[in-house]
Structure 1
Amino acid sequence: MGEVRFGVQDVAGVRFAVSPLWETVVSFSAVADPGRYAVHLPWITSVRPLWEDRALARRTAPLRVVAGADPLRPDPPGFLTPPPRCPLAEFEEELAILLAAPAPEPGMDLPGLEDALRAWWEAAVRPYWARIRAVLEADIAYRTRQLAEDGIQEVLARLHPTLSWSGDRLVSPDLAPAVLDLDGRGLTLAPSAFTLRCRLLTGPGPVPPAIVYPARAVGTLWERRGASGEGLARLLGRSRARLLAFTTSPATTTQLAARTGLSLGAVSQHLAVLRDAGLVTSHRYRREVHYATSELGDALMDRAQGGSADPVERPVAAPPQSAGRGGGDHSSRVRL
């Protein structure tokens, strides 16, 4: 049974973040051991040919050694997954933090590991990152609403069934059997699409530790409803019916435009109509607004076509984003 002990200052320093590096490492293990990751089988089926590609296998060989499927060590080694610091962190930023740390073992081939991580990210994770990140940010939006309604204690106690709040401590059998005193550093909460259980990540010095926990609604991550039935298209119009189908997982207007081929203006107009009709909901996170079907929208989709999920399409990778956002900790901080 592991425990994380809070002081007053630590409670004020709770924040949320996402980690593309963590998802990259753990997704690699998922493909290596698909039986433990049944919810991700559509994605695993889609990327399995990449795993078996000889050229990519050579590049990812160092990662296979340290993060491959091992029933005796189901979690990646700690040095490979430093605590995330920013909800908008990019893969290259987190990779730079990893490479700046001293090698955990003498003679470890960090350049080879860097290339392995970058190869797997580019081939198997980055093309799907917009979809994955939308689910993670939807989880964060849910937790922040919960904070406003119930307070930070309820947020911490309801992150995951294995976590509980006791006195001044967060307790879980998933964590290593030790007591970690936060010592005023605060704590980062990081939802994950690929993690199977809660995991405590620690770093050197004043870096806040992080608890990675399974995100909500991961079961919807790889769902893609087929073309809407003709009845629904006649009711809503073909474009709005398609948009409704693509909002079964949270998505921004930019993502929806890319998926449907509609212009950003058209997507915005159709979403406004769907939202006014109560078929989609929206929530803002920093500069982005994410749209998702409401309960009414889900019921309408299920009635129209039975709610079946299709195999995952491999999307076209988005253009590379700039690596730098400036220095410092840009984490989304909860202030009480």
Structure 2
Amino acid sequence: MALRFAVSPLWETIAGLRVLAAPECAPVHQRWTTWAESRLGSLPDDPWFRLLRRLATRGPVVPEFLIPTPGLRSTGIDTEVDALFRATPERITAAVGADPHARPLLDDPTEALTALRDRVRAVHDAIVEPLWPRLEGVLQGDVERRGRRLTEHGGPTVLNELHDTVTWHPTAVEVAGTITELGTRDLVLVPSAFIWPDVYLRDSPVRLALCYPATGFGTLWTRPTPPARPALTRLLGTTRARLLHELERPSTVSELAERLDVTAGSVSQHLGVLRATGLAVSRREGREVVSLRTALGLALVQGGD
């Protein structure tokens, strides 16, 4: 069994749909739900879209085939939605049971999965993609922080700190009183902005995924407190303050150097300080290394606590 982390834009899309199905249960996301509901309402309300919303929101458990667990720490939405095609008829049958509304999935799985993939992608583009840099900064920042805890203190400590309903056992994980044996399966920890106040265990034959509330998700929708920049400049210095503002979206060192009109070496040095203080996080994408600010960095830019 391996314990690792993953950030999933697909899960944030499905979890966002679940929040929109019961917005009164998540008042912390009120600003986002007001914005997202209008965008979701602009999508075609066809039978496949209604089926997606039913599958994603009507029960306490999302069908396993609809939210495959990522195999890597960072996975793009295209890769995740394409993974829907790996769902076998047996997995679909086990997930939907005798639900008559899901009959199209059983009658023609290929057509149904194609339609659901397209609807999932449309929902993602409407309610998650415009805000993904900000969301990803919070999620990746949580991974960085807990990854350090994993290195320093081990898996049991990290799992026991995720949520008050999660408990580590030598061969199993307990969530809300239910014990699930791990066996040889990986356990993937997936931070989420939309899962609070709960956790969600995604069970599959290959790997388990435990979705938990990401640290700092509450800063996502707060309004900036102007004027934040002068105070931030006094705290961090001019270049680091400007750099933290620029890290609203993932950027490479060369992109940041060009936008700030400083050398790449200077950017790398300042990024190292921001990472060391938990304000930014960097990851490799192919041959490039991209950076973005964390939830703590966002709160500092906004002038929050």
How far, CA to CA, are the matches of 2:143 and 2:242 in structure 1? 26
CA shift in 2, pair 1:181/1:224, >3 Å = same
How far, CA to CA, are the matches of 1:142 and 1:181 in structure 2? 26
Higher helix share: 2
- Selected match of 1:150 from 137, 148, 153: 153
Report the CA distance between 1:30 and its aligned residue.
Answer: 1.4
Structure number with the bigger relative contact order (C-alpha 8 A, sep ≥ 6) is: 1
How far, CA to CA, are the matches of 2:213 and 2:104 in structure 1? 34
CA shift in 2, pair 1:233/1:38, >3 Å = closer
- Selected match of 1:127 from 130, 154, 160: 130
How far, CA to CA, are the matches of 2:29 and 2:170 in structure 1? 36
Q: Secondary structure at the match of 2:45?
A: helix
* Counterpart residue type for residue 121 of structure 1: H
Report the CA distance between 1:273 and its aligned residue.
Answer: 6.2
Report the CA distance between 1:64 and its aligned residue.
Answer: 2.1
How far, CA to CA, are the matches of 2:55 and 2:263 in structure 1? 44
How far, CA to CA, are the matches of 1:102 and 1:266 in structure 2? 53
How far, CA to CA, are the matches of 1:212 and 1:234 in structure 2? 36
* Counterpart residue type for residue 4 of structure 2: R
CA shift in 2, pair 1:33/1:239, >3 Å = farther
Identity %: 30
CA shift in 2, pair 1:172/1:203, >3 Å = closer
- Selected match of 2:17 from 28, 35, 57: 28
Q: Match for residue 189 of structure 2?
A: 189
How far, CA to CA, are the matches of 1:190 and 1:171 in structure 2? 16
CA shift in 2, pair 1:233/1:143, >3 Å = closer
How far, CA to CA, are the matches of 1:238 and 1:226 in structure 2? 19
Report the CA distance between 1:154 and its aligned residue.
Answer: 0.8
What are the Cα deviations for residues 239-270 of structure 1, in whole angstroms up to 9, with x where unaligned?
865655677xx764469x89xxx815459758
- Selected match of 2:290 from 280, 284, 288: 288
Report the CA distance between 1:293 and its aligned residue.
Answer: 8.3
Report the CA distance between 1:139 and its aligned residue.
Answer: 0.8
Alignment of 1:1-336 (within 5 A): 10=1, 13-53=2-42, 55-58=43-46, 60-68=49-57, 70=58, 73-103=59-89, 104-105=92-93, 106-108=103-105, 109-173=112-176, 177=178, 179-196=179-196, 197-204=198-205, 207-228=206-227, 232=231, 235=234, 252-253=250-251, 263=259, 265-266=261-262, 281-286=279-284, 287-292=289-294, 298=300, 302=303, 307=304
CA shift in 2, pair 1:234/1:186, >3 Å = closer
Q: Secondary structure at the match of 1:87?
A: coil
CA shift in 2, pair 1:115/1:91, >3 Å = same
How far, CA to CA, are the matches of 2:125 and 2:200 in structure 1? 25
CA shift in 2, pair 1:64/1:152, >3 Å = closer
Report the CA distance between 1:52 and its aligned residue.
Answer: 2.2
* Counterpart residue type for residue 16 of structure 2: S
TM normalised by structure 1 equals 0.68
How far, CA to CA, are the matches of 1:294 and 1:91 in structure 2? 25
How far, CA to CA, are the matches of 1:290 and 1:16 in structure 2? 18
CA contact (8 A) 2:187 2:210 kept: yes
Report the CA distance between 1:235 and its aligned residue.
Answer: 4.9
How far, CA to CA, are the matches of 2:136 and 2:263 in structure 1? 20
CA contact (8 A) 1:232 1:241 kept: no
How far, CA to CA, are the matches of 1:28 and 1:111 in structure 2? 19
Report the CA distance between 1:24 and its aligned residue.
Answer: 0.9
What do you get for the CA RMSD once the two structures are aligned?
3.7
* Counterpart residue type for residue 173 of structure 2: L
CA shift in 2, pair 1:195/1:118, >3 Å = same
5+ unaligned residues in a row in structure 2: which ranges? 94-102, 106-111
Report the CA distance between 1:131 and its aligned residue.
Answer: 1.4
What are the Cα deviations for residues 291-336 of structure 1, in whole angstroms up to 9, with x where unaligned?
45879x94x974xxxx49xxxxxxxxxxxxxxxxxxxxxxxxxxxx
CA contact (8 A) 1:187 1:208 kept: yes
What are the Cα deviations for residues 46-70 of structure 1, in whole angstroms up to 9, with x where unaligned?
22211222x43337323222223x4
Report the CA distance between 1:117 and its aligned residue.
Answer: 0.6
